[in-house]
Amino acid sequence: MNLQELEQRQKAFFQNSKFDSLLLRNFDNWLDANFFYFSGIDSEDCFLLLKKGKKPVLLSSFLQSGNLQKFQHLKVLQFDSL
């Protein structure tokens, strides 16, 4: 999956809904297929915030954030605890 596909998916979501933001979570006890569909990342202990017209934000645990910095299409922020 490439960056253009992800951007098209996000754009289509906002064009076809009345929402201007979407928050998804992906944890070991709650794996959300939509998380991967919109981010292209198969990672746990994360939140994904999509806002219409903005760069997606990935909120990840301190332990995961270093591994996720390589995803240039996301702004990666970290949290210290759940």
Residues 6 or more apart in contact with residue 76 via CB below 8 angstroms: 57, 58, 60, 65, 68, 69
Q: What does the pLDDT read at residue 65? A: 59
Is residue 68 within 8 A of residue 41, CB to CB? The reply is yes
Statement: the pTM of the whole predicted model exceeds 0.85: no
Q: What does the pLDDT read at residue 78? A: 81
Q: Which parts of the chain register pLDDT below 70?
A: 1, 62-70, 81-82
Q: What does the pLDDT read at residue 19? A: 94
